[in-house]
Amino acid sequence: MTILLSAIYSCIYAQGFPEEPINGIAFPIGSKVTIKLHATDSAHYDFSIIELKAFNEIVNTQDHDYLFPENGEEDRITFYFCQGTHGDTREEKEKNRRVLLLMKNYSRKVVQYSFEIQQKKMRNSNILQIV
């Protein structure tokens, strides 16, 4: 089941966490999302949303490790879907601006991900979908 956050973004922010396990989610650029893995069998996982909040910082593409604590809770994965750039001058920073998907897997499991980034023409915003 895929949740299209572009339509219900405000509703998800208002819900309590953790959510029931699901197998897909979509969220807009400018988001920090933490999920918890739930094994459905020995090789497959659903996940629940532990944290979903706005993240509008433009990060340095060459120095962003500060976003992730060294040690996180087991079976958690944290994502930042945001903008990043690098450079010394304003012009360099504007030229080097990119959309980033940063993530850290605190699980001991090797997890295979499938991501799709969609551009919504109406709002000129990006949506990230994880399935």
- The string of pLDDT tens digits covering residues 40-76 is 888 888 888 899 999 999 999 999 999 999 988 899 9
What does the pLDDT read at residue 58?
95
At 71-119, the pLDDT tens digits run 888 999 999 999 999 999 999 999 999 999 999 999 888 877 777 777 6
**CA nearest neighbour of 48 among 32, 31, 35:** 35
- Whether pLDDT at 23 is above 50: yes
What's the confidence (pLDDT) of residue 7? 33
How many whole angstroms separate alpha carbon 4 and alpha carbon 23?
12
Q: What's the whole-model pTM score?
A: 0.73
In the chain, the amino acid numbered 117 is I
Helix, strand, coil percent content, the chain, rounded in steps of 5: 15, 45, 40
What's the confidence (pLDDT) of residue 106?
A: 93
